[in-house]
A and B are shown apart, each in its own frame.
Chain A
Amino acid sequence: MIKNTGQSTTSEIGPPEVVIWAINKTYGHGNNAVRAVSDVELILEPGSTTALVGPSGCGKSTLLRMIAGLEEASSGTIRIGGEMPHIVARKGRLSVAFQDPSLLPWRTAASNVALARRLAGLPKDPEKVQKLLSLVGLDGFENKRPAELSGGMRQRCAIARCLATDARLLLLDEPFGAVDEMTRRRLNLELPRVWEGQGTTTLLVTHSVTEAVLLSDRVIVMSHRPAHISADIPILIERPRRASHLSSPEFVTLVTQINTALGIVDEPDEPDEGPFIVPEVR
């Protein structure tokens, strides 16, 4: 009974709108000041999936951390469903997946996933934990500790953990970075169904242009540091997305368009060979 009421109250809330207004972020001061994010303005529609792409170290992750309430902006405002990020965080209504899987080494895979519910102040739900673990292909590994899992498995476990709460805002910071290519593609196609089913607003930071196009409704291209928005490209491919979309002319055009915005001109058939990884630009 408790479980049902819990779910019904959360679904009543619905995916939030995220408003990012005139955000600036500067580290250090005086002559050592480094400007990481410069005047970013962005509105994430409720229930949409937005991808952030840009050169390494451009400030994408900083932006995501500010939305998660982990860092404060030097100036500007962020509102999630009209509330401040740290208020939303305290209510357990946002969920973050980091580049590093950051699992607790002394807990099993299942217990790491279950921990998320505890931290968000939610009742236990072993069924959901089990369902998420099998979704990310960790059947039979529930009772293994992170040290006994491969790098990719740990990353998948972290993704499962991210989905374990009833968060309506998912902040994914390069979550498939350490996952092998085949699994990555499978997760790319399967995971959106999970969060689309739950009804979430999603922000995804990624290096892979293919992944960005495949997963999102909109791709934001960030410039080199200090990060600002250099292109905003809507992705109008119908959902659910399938593997066949990868080779459609529409898809290839979008990938080329984004790569151009990133300042890279490609051979047109390259995206077929896999996701294009933006090279390190310093």
Chain B
Amino acid sequence: MIYHLVPKRVVTWTLVFFLCGFAVSAPAGSSDADLEESSGSDEITQNNDEILPHYKGEGSFYLGFRAVNIDTAGRSAEYEDGKSSIALGLDGLACPLPHRYHMHLEYFGEHNNYADFGYAYKDLLLFRNVFVGIHHNLDHYNYLYPGDPPAVLFEDRSPGDENYVDFIKNELLLRAKAPDFPLHVFAKHRYVEREGILEQRFLAGSIGNLIKTSESRDINWESNDLTLGMNSHLGPVEVEFSRNESTFDPGTGSVLYDYFPSSTVFGRPGDTYPHNVVPETESSGNTIRFHSSFTGQIVASATLSNAENTNNYSGAESDGWKAAMDLRWIPDPVVSLFFKYRHQEKDKENPEQVVLSGLVNRITYPVRTPISTEKDLFSLSARYRPLNKLTLIGNYEFEHRKRTDIDDWIVLPADSDVHRINLTAHARPLNTLKLKAIYDYEAYANPSYNTEPDHSNKIRLNATYTPVGWITVFCDYSLRLMQREELQYLQGNELVLLEDGERDGRMDRFLGSLSLLFSPEVTLTASWAYNRRKIEQDLAYTLWSTTGAGRDLPYYDRGVPYSDESNTFILSLYYLLRKDLTLTADLSYTIAEGEYLPGDVIAGNSSTLGSFSAMETTETMVTVGLAKKILQDWEVGVSFAADFFEDRFNDGAGVEQDDEAFITTFTVKRYF
């Protein structure tokens, strides 16, 4: 079974296969004799008899050393494992027809690599394999105030542990075609592996003696996804059928156990119970797709698919199917109409009850019925090109969402409708000026969540101006405004839906850049990007009833502002100092700020809460590269990259973020 292929083996054999391929296809350029033979005719005539063409293989290979110097495994080196390594690269393209090979390989360490191999034989066989490996440093949070208040303790069972994940993904495609007929069979396989140490946070203890807990968790997760399919023609209609199966295996340690003391509030006896389970899951599905010939005035396509998902730990299931239809009609070269329809159904099913098995006790709890959903989406677009330099596009979209089995959930509406209108204009008033203007309007009836607005308006303006050949100016600005009334909150355990409060949102985004092509040897680009997200929302907090059991209506903290803002400045230089000497340099500086200012919701000063969520960080990245050609086909290169991350707001978030990273790479490259 392809399912159980060991990816390293796949990669190894693939590499061997390709190296052999490249070896047998040693540069085979057209010989003079070939050329003479192919141009033997004396006059220009209709003659299609050709010899099999040859292509001279080409590529490069480099070897070097990559020195990594990281102060801490903090934010600036989020994807670096901190280990220096040899640097190895291979780039090749060889076409000893009818065989064609390509290869791109980067190796910067055990957990930082990329490989892309491809092979084709005529149009009969196609093979492709893409492998990616990367290391990801994860934050290690601390709760800095254990025992303050006394009812909340903190226990870090693995203090000082560095948390990380080594990620591997391998994607393989194999496609075969019948000779002289467009019938294809194909197989696609994806393997994903995550191995490392996570920081598992969870709540231990019981009410009155809560223990925020952190411990290291070894993981070795694997996922396999296999798709088999066929594709062919049915007269003017093309049809494709595929079957997909995927599995997720959390490996050993998928269940954690801890002792939880008895809870008088919830009536659960003290025992060792499972928690933070990572379940094994399986899913499968079938897809059938049709489309008509693309060459007519009317083109139609349709997709029908189903999917079944199973959780092997709890028995939860989810089934669903989707249908999609596209229709394009070009009644006239300047007018096009596009219609889309999408339908999606997702049915979820849970066991009616779950048994929590402790070491001693077995407790049965009811499980509420999960929400099942249906979605329908209709979209109609029209494109009109009144002038060669002007294109107008209009789109109307209607989406209907329906939920069933929501009685236990209360807060979600049974039906939600969304209307969307989009108007776009592309214009080229001058040969040197390109403009784009977009207007989006959205209206929600019964929005699903508080984060969805009743109404939203968005404009976007985009211009590219090239006054002279060596200057290009680019500007892009967008603004989105959102309003929402009658926010919905669930009043704690009372299971009462409350409708009160408002929310306003504003998002601005600007991007400007100036590119200067001083000469073919010197290019300089300067860019500035600005992003702001600003929200004002009424937030609800539970209030215990002081006159009896239960709760009062919640306390509303009105108009709480929240914002994120960032400015990014980038400078890029390409400079061909001499014919054999190239300099590249990039500098980027990002400053990000954020605020959250709750009102007076607690005794004393609420700024404690605001300061926790306040944020001000800067990141400066510098990259300089120098490449010098030596001899005929050799090149030496050195590149230096530095990254400085500073968390300016010492907010007690419990994670160390400030750090610096320096990476220097030396390479010797040979072109062939």
A, B in one complex: no
